[in-house]
Amino acid sequence: MAKRRLDQLDVAGKRVLVRVDFNVPIDQGIEGISLYDQRLRATLPTIKYLIEQGSKIVLCSHLGRPNGEVVEELRLAPVGDRLAFLLERPVNSLPEITGSVVAEAIAAMSPGDVVLLENLRFHPGEEKNDGVFACELADSVDCFVMDAFAVTHRAHASTDGITKFLPSAMGLLVQREVEEMGKALESPEKPLAALMGGAKVSDKILLLDNLLEDLDHLFIGGGMCVTFLNAMGYLTGDSRIEEDRLEFAREIMRRAEAANIEVHLPEYVVIANEFAADPGETDVMHVGDVPDGWYIMDIAPSSAQDFADALSKCKTIIWNGPMGVFEMPRFSAGTRTVAESIAKLVGVTSVVGGGSTAEAIEELGLMDKMTHVSTGGGASLEFLEGKELPGIAALPDV
C-alpha cells in the first residue's frame, strides 16, 4: 500500500517535526562529521522543500547509544553546526528535547527557521516507544515528517508512536529509498545480480531467501565466502567459519543450481598470517590452497576482475556487504575494484545497501555514480528481506 508523501501533507506555514538520522561519527570530531556527512546531505532536499513552503522546521534525531541518559559527548550541537554549513543558514541547536525551553524556541520561530532538538535517546521513553514521550514531542508542532530511513526498522517514540498524535507523511529521502529499493525488488530489469559480502552468512540468510529465485547471478565475497567455500570442501585456514550455516550454504548452492542461477565465488583470495591491519606476511592463494594458520582477508585482484566482468553483463545489481576487510586499507582492493567497475556501467541500476557498504562507497567517492546508496544499514537489509518496517507502516496509506 502506498504511503502519504510529503507533497500530500499540508506543511505551508506549519510547524513541522522532521525525524532525521544524524547518527554520524561524532567521536572523530568536526573533521569526522564533515568526512561522513552523507546522512545530513541526504535529508537536505526535504529540509529545503519545507523552507520553500514557509514551514517552521523542527528536526529531531538520535546519536549513539546513551541508553536514556544525558551523555555530554553525544550532544547534537556539533552536528547542527555542520548542517548549518550545508544549508547555508542558521540552525538553532536546543539543549532539550521537550519542555518549556523547546516550546518557547518553537513559538519564536519565523517561516523557514530551523531548530534541532537534543539527542532523542537521552530520554528513556524514546526506545521504549513511550506514548507520553511521543505526545510531548508532538505538543509544540502541527505535523510530522518521517525522513530517517535508517531507523524505520525501529518502533520508537519518534518513528512509530509520534504518528498517533500528528498528521504524518514520509519525507523525500524515505520516499526515494522505498521507491528505488522497491523497484529493484519488484520489477528489476534483467539480468538481476545480488552481490553479497560482509562478515557473516547469518546476517544475509533472509535476504538470500527473499531474493534467490528472482536472481540470474549471485556473487559472494567478504567473510561470507569463507563459509561457502568451506561448505564446498575447500580448506580455509584459520578463517572464521560459521559451522551452523554450512548446511544453509549448501542448500543455497543446490537451490541456485536448480533455478539455473550462476553463482560466483572467488577463485583466488588474499590471505594473511594474522587477522590484523598490518600482518607480518600476506599472499595471494587459490581457494583450495589456503594453509593452516592463515586468514582470508579479501578477494584477489583476479577474482575481483572476474566479478567485475560478470557484473558488466547485468542490468540490475543489488549490493550488500564489502568484498574483504575494507576497513583495513591493505585489504580494501577487492571492494574498490568491484565498486569502481559498477560505477562505470551505463544503463545499469545499482542499488547499494547501507551500513559498511555505503561507508565504503562514500570513502571511495563514488556516491553519485550509483543509482541509489541507502542511508540505512539494518533498515535496508530488512527492506530487501521483504519485512515490514514499523517506521513506514505507521504512516497513513493513500
Q: Please give the DSSP secondary-structure letter assigned to residue 93.
A: E
Which positions ≥6 away from 257 have C-beta within 8 Å?
263
Residue type, 185: L
Which positions ≥6 away from 324 have C-beta within 8 Å?
197, 221, 222, 270, 297, 298, 299, 331, 332, 333, 334, 335
From 171, 198, 223, 355, active-site residue = 355
Cα gap 280→274, rounded to integer Å = 7
Per the structure block, which three cell numbers stand in for 261? 542461477
Report whether the peptide linkage leading into residue 191 is cis, meaning its omega lies within 30 degrees of zero.
yes
Which positions ≥6 away from 85 have C-beta within 8 Å?
none
Cα gap 307→195, rounded to integer Å = 9
From 14, 39, 56, 336, active-site residue = 39
Is 198 designated active site?
no
Is 378 designated active site?
yes
What is the SS3 assignment for 57? strand
Which positions ≥6 away from 370 have C-beta within 8 Å?
342, 343, 350, 351, 352, 361
From 200, 240, 315, 387, active-site residue = 200
Is 355 designated active site?
yes
Supply the residues annotated as catalytic. 39, 200, 355, 378
